[in-house]
């Protein structure tokens, strides 16, 4: 699996929405690497972060299903203790995201994740999105 979880030990790592989606939806071929990343986060191998925008991305599927139990389960997933720290997107992160969108030509939501990761001192972002590029001192590590 890439990234090597050993290389992340003790680091601050932002987890992109797609990692959570692959795990929760049971996406074939990607559920296993997503599960390994999330298990390492839960075990405290690295400090895990994600933004409220990532949670909103994850919640689209449960809302689309319209099942209150699935919606509650997805919400509760992010409330687990010692799992992932949810962080805000500030006006400064939105400005940095606009700059990244304008200069690197990456999708705005990816730029927002990168800017948020940088604002919270993350060393890397784990994602399955090949359009995301390293920026603002944050490395981008592919999920698989």
What's the rounded Cα separation, in Å, for the pair 75 and 120? 22
- Number of Cβ within 10 Å of residue 105's Cβ equals 10
pTM, rounded to two decimals: 0.93
> What are residue 87's DSSP bridge partners?
51
- Give the residue numbers spanning the domain of 38: 5-142
Q: Tell me what the mean pLDDT of segment 113-137 comes to.
A: 96
Predicted pLDDT at 107: 95
CATH of the domain at 35: 3.40.50.1010
How many domains, the chain? 1
pLDDT single digits (tens) 9-44: 999 999 999 999 999 988 889 999 999 999 999 999
Q: Tell me what the mean pLDDT of segment 54-70 comes to.
A: 96
């Amino acid at each position: 699996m890439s990234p090597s979880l050993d290389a992340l030990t003790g680091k601050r790592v932002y987890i992109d929405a797609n990692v959570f989606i692959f795990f929760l939806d049971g996406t074939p071929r990607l559920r296993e690497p997503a599960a390994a990343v999330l298990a390492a986060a839960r075990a405290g191998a690295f400090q895990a972060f994600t933004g409220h925008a990532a949670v909103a991305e994850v919640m689209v599927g449960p809302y689309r299903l319209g099942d209150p139990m699935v919606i509650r389960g997805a919400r509760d997933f992010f409330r687990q203790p010692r799992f992932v720290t949810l962080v805000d997107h500030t006006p400064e992160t939105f400005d940095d995201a606009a700059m990244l969108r304008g200069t690197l030509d990456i999708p705005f939501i990816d730029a927002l994740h990168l800017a948020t990761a940088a604002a919270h001192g993350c060393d890397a972002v784990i994602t399955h999105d090949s359009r995301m590029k390293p920026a603002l001192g944050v490395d981008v590590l592919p999920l698989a």
